[in-house]
Amino acid sequence: MIQSIRLQHFRSYTDDSFEFDASVNIIVGANASGKTNLLEALLVVARGNSYRVHDMDLVEHDQPWARLDALVDNVDRTVKIVRDPLPSKTYEIAGRSFSRLSLERTLPVVLFEPNHLNLLIGAPERRRDYLDELLSQSTVGYTALIRSYRRALAQRNHLLKSGHANPQELFPWDVRLSELGARIIRCRETLVQYLNTKIAGLYQDLSKSETTVALAYQSGAGSEQYESTMLRQLEERRRDDVVRGHTSFGPHRDDLVVYFNGVLAQEVASRGETRTLILCLKILELQLLEEKRDQTPLLLLDDVFSELDGVRRQALTQHLQPYQTCITTTDADVVVHSFAEASNIILIAKS
């Protein structure tokens, strides 16, 4: 658990410190007071990066550096971000320095923020990112895998856009993308299968309905022969790809689809049903990370509690009891009344 944190020149904070309980922490403040910035600082301490901006944008305006000092399970963790004179980011854990956090040095964390409620209606990229972020926290080597794929894809696309790419230049990138793509597909399909075994029962439990929910990974080919299929597709589509200037086949074109009673959720799901589905996914994220990492995840709820009705708030509170939770809100009463036990209230004065 995160016991305390000090923020120096981080976002809207010049120098402030906060302490946290092991259970529910309610961060209360007006809009633009810095609630989300505090939650973002916890996320950076936990997994090393922000979900909103690039590293240099985390540094307070007109300041050359930012620093986060946290006490996590009685171990000191520090993140230093330097903007001037040369951009850099370093981590210190128990006195040891690192330039990047490997999976075993991160803390498992689940974030639930308002944009997640649009998971179904957004572009496929949003759902691919959802799978990749969860895999990056639960599968050793996946972060490096997806990074390598994106680099190779950028190289192939650069050749396509140059206007004079030839088969001899493209073939090595075709082979590299096919090999990496097959590994990505297998990881994504395994994750979706895991979620699928649990989401139907959980959804019916939370919604008190008989609606059948199913997830499916939508790809251009199955995982068994994916490498050879992708290589063949890249060769067959080469001429069209040159015209378009981008690669038209691969994991970067796939999607996660959701069905309600056998029909695409985007076509039939109400606003309330969609929110119940997202709530189910967040609960499953907690369970998966705890299972894979053998460590209790941190749960961060950024201004979404008020977006849920009473039934869904009650369902959420029942499932988050085992986890250290930080909830931002403009109205403490909305949150406090949902918990039987006392909560730690953190007041944020408007800056």
Concatenated DSSP letters of 232-289: HHHHHTHHHHHHHTS--SSGGG-EEEEEETTEEHHHH--HHHHHHHHHHHHHHHHHHH
pLDDT digits 0-9 by tens, 284-323 = 999 999 999 999 999 999 988 877 788 888 888 888 888 9
**Cα 158 from Cα 238, distance rounded (Å):** 13
Query: Which of 58, 62, 64 has the alpha carbon at shortest distance from 79?
Result: 58
**pLDDT at 330 > cutoff 70:** yes
Residues of the chain with CATH 1.20.1050.90: 118-296
Average pLDDT value over all residues in the chain: 93
In one-letter notation, the amino acid at residue 12 is: S
Query: Which of 25, 72, 63, 19 has the alpha carbon at shortest distance from 45?
Result: 72
CB 117 within 8 A of CB 304: yes
Residue with the two structure tokens 């796939």 = 254
pLDDT digits 0-9 by tens, 89-122 = 999 999 999 999 999 999 999 999 988 989 998 8
**Cα 214 from Cα 257, distance rounded (Å):** 8
* % residues pLDDT > 90 (the chain): 77
pLDDT for res 351? 58
Extract the tokens encoding 143: 């972060």
**pLDDT at 196 > cutoff 90:** yes
pLDDT for res 319? 81
Look at the domain 118-296 and name its fold: Glutathione S-transferase Yfyf (Class Pi); Chain A, domain 2 (1.20.1050)
Kindly report the CA angle at 27 between 329 and 118, in degrees rounded to 5? 45
Residues of the chain with CATH 3.40.50.300: 1-107+297-351
For the residues 150-172, what does the mean pLDDT come to? Answer: 92
**Cα 330 from Cα 230, distance rounded (Å):** 49
Look at the domain 1-107+297-351 and name its fold: Rossmann fold (3.40.50)
pLDDT for res 260? 96
CB 78 within 8 A of CB 20: no
**Cα 27 from Cα 3, distance rounded (Å):** 15
CB 261 within 8 A of CB 254: no
For the residues 178-189, what does the mean pLDDT come to? Answer: 97
Extract the tokens encoding 209: 């309905």
Extract the tokens encoding 275: 């929110």
Query: Which of 330, 326, 334 has the alpha carbon at shortest distance from 32?
Result: 330
